[in-house]
Structure 1
């Protein structure tokens, strides 16, 4: 298991009256699988981003928790079929993306899980290794309705 020395967020969500409610928190050492399971254990889902409007809303939430430079696991993955990305939380294929330049690249043949990151002040997506564990802090969730 690889550990990277920078902060990462876990964003769980629930749909309440057709509005997304994000539970954003930082917690120690969760890879993609553990982040997914942690959301499920809270009766929530790991984040999905299905439109530019949702991406902008999530960006606002990330700024509110002062985490603009942190990474955020999403439920996006291509673990079923290489290059065929879908949202594990919903089973739906991507109809919107915000990939960084040259992404997804499946670097080393092991990148199957999608996270966000900040490149030059813009939140973008990258495919990362699902087993990568980011160092995280502050397990108290911040709750935001979008």
Structure 2
């Protein structure tokens, strides 16, 4: 009887482990967070927009490109959780045509925005990159691409996108 229980326990353990291993291989990489069809990484280090973009590329990702209010709400909540008061680079810029805001990886014009009132301002004529401004209730602001902020990378979720993991 004890032998049968040991065998059943071992069998259960092996099945459970293989299920977890299979599940882990289809989720976002360690340190990334799943929302919708994407995985997100929130940096703890600050760089300028260009280095931030390169860092995302090194992870086969891009700076986050916000397409909806629900996605924006997720990013804002995560940013507040992992870096309260911190600003984060997003993938938007208007350096090709001033005032025409596009996502850097696709050159698509923004179809959703969450600008802080009075933004974008292009103060000093050199504010060509978008960041999620931690000090102003996590709204968007334009600023010089040379400022150092944390950043948010995004890449495709390798699973089926049917559940939210965080």
**Where on the TM-score scale, by shorter chain, does this alignment land: which range?**
0.7 to 0.9
Q: Structure 1: any 5+ residue segments left out of the alignment?
A: 1-12, 137-143
User: Could you tell me which residue of structure 1 aligns to residue 16 of structure 2?
Assistant: none
Q: Displacement of 1:89 after TM fit?
A: 2.3
Matches within 5 A, 1:59-78: 59-65=76-82, 67-78=83-94
Aligned CA distance change for structure 1 residues 88 and 128 (closer, same or farther; 3 Å): same
Q: Are residues 1:39 and 2:56 paired?
A: yes
Whether the aligned pair in 2 keeps the contact of 1:19 and 1:145 (CA below 8 Å) is no
Aligned CA distance change for structure 1 residues 145 and 48 (closer, same or farther; 3 Å): farther
Matches within 5 A, 1:1-146: 19-27=37-45, 29-65=46-82, 67-119=83-135, 122-134=137-149, 145=165
Aligned CA distance change for structure 1 residues 118 and 30 (closer, same or farther; 3 Å): closer
Task: Using structure 2 for the length normalisation, give the TM-score.
Answer: 0.66
Structure having the higher Rg: 2
Q: Displacement of 1:14 after TM fit?
A: 9.7
Higher strand content, 1 or 2: 1
Higher helix content, 1 or 2: 2
User: Take 1:118 and 1:14, find their aligned partners in 2: how far apart are those partners?
Assistant: 19
CA root-mean-square deviation: 2.4
- 3-state SS of 2:50 partner: helix
User: Take 2:87 and 2:34, find their aligned partners in 1: how far apart are those partners?
Assistant: 23
Q: Displacement of 1:145 after TM fit?
A: 4.7
Aligned CA distance change for structure 1 residues 84 and 145 (closer, same or farther; 3 Å): farther
Aligned CA distance change for structure 1 residues 87 and 31 (closer, same or farther; 3 Å): same
Q: Displacement of 1:76 after TM fit?
A: 0.4
Task: Using structure 1 for the length normalisation, give the TM-score.
Answer: 0.74
Q: Structure 2: any 5+ residue segments left out of the alignment?
A: 1-31, 151-163
Q: CA offsets, 1:27-69, max 9 Å, x none? A: 1x4100000011001111111111111111112222331x131
